[in-house]
Amino acid sequence: MTKSAIAQFVADKLQKSDAGSLTLLKSFIDRRYEMIWDSGLWRETLGTTSYSVAADTSEVTLNSAVRFAVAVAWDDNEISSMDYETVFQINPALFDESGSPTSFITLPNDSSGNAVIRLIRKPDKAKTLLVLGKLKLTALTDSDSPKINGIDNALLAYVEGDMLEHMRQYGKAQVKQQEAAGAMMLMRDLESAQSAKIARLIPEVPNVWDINDFD
């Protein structure tokens, strides 16, 4: 369903089809769509971008479409996510070492709102960095349909609940919120159980450790 169709469907149910109500409903759709987009790593919200990184470059600014990095590979080898505290606990000298990067740290966004990561260690050779990222939300126009698979019922229930709350029908609004929560569970089932997906348990060990550390 398009954004306009969702708004019209709810408006018809609640007999609130005037222009002001439709505008309000569309604002509810925008907020709820953003909420659902941010609530999980839906496959439609992920994308890959690649970057040519020069030697001795420690910080990489990601594509403006990427909200944050989910997974990173250096020269076709995955490198793990770490935080500053872990690096200090393992070996603070890693910040200054050069070689093949073994990990990355997520830094605050730059002044333009772009995601930034820091490589641990600084690369000693120019290579390609591949990033699987959570994409930034693109606002829906009236003729656009949401990108996430199976989202329509959840959006309809959330938006109807928001409109009922606006109309001060709080009991009915609560029922619709519960319906929306059930629709979200169905969405997650579509994502994890019904669609093609391989589930694997992979223990994560920072690349700075080797087999000798576990003697």
Q: What's 138-205 look like in SS3?
A: CCCCCCCCCCCCCCHHHHHHHHHHHHHHHCCCHHHHHHHHHHHHHHHHHHHHHHHHHCCCCCCCCCCC
pLDDT one-digit tens code per residue, 131-159: 999 999 999 999 999 999 889 999 999 99
Indicate whether 20 pLDDT > 60.
yes
**pLDDT tier for residue 92 given thresholds of 50, 70 and 90:** confident
Amino acid identity at 92:
P
Instruction: Give pLDDT, residue 90.
Output: 82
Burial environment of residue 81 by CB neighbours within 10 A (0 to 12, 13 to 18, 19 or more): middle
**pLDDT tier for residue 7 given thresholds of 50, 70 and 90:** very high
The CA distance from 81 to 69, in Å, is 9
Q: Please report where in the chains the tokens 């990095």 appear, as a residue.
A: 69
DSSP helix/strand/coil, 124? coil
Of all residues in the chain, the percent with pLDDT exceeding 70 is: 89
The CA distance from 82 to 120, in Å, is 9
Instruction: Give pLDDT, residue 96.
Output: 86
Under 8 Å between Cβ of 79 and 73: yes
Question: Averaged over 88-96, what is the pLDDT?
Answer: 84
Indicate whether 89 pLDDT > 80.
yes
For 141-157, b/e burial (b = at least 16 CB within 10 A) is eeeeebebebbbbbbbb
**pLDDT tier for residue 26 given thresholds of 50, 70 and 90:** very high
pLDDT one-digit tens code per residue, 162-210: 999 999 999 999 999 999 999 999 888 877 766 555 555 555 555 555 5
Instruction: Give pLDDT, residue 86.
Output: 87
Omega before 121 within 30 of 0, i.e. cis: yes
DSSP helix/strand/coil, 215? coil
Task: Output the pTM of the full model.
Answer: 0.82
With a CB cutoff of 8 Å and minimum separation 6, the contacts of 165 are 173
Indicate whether 64 pLDDT > 70.
yes
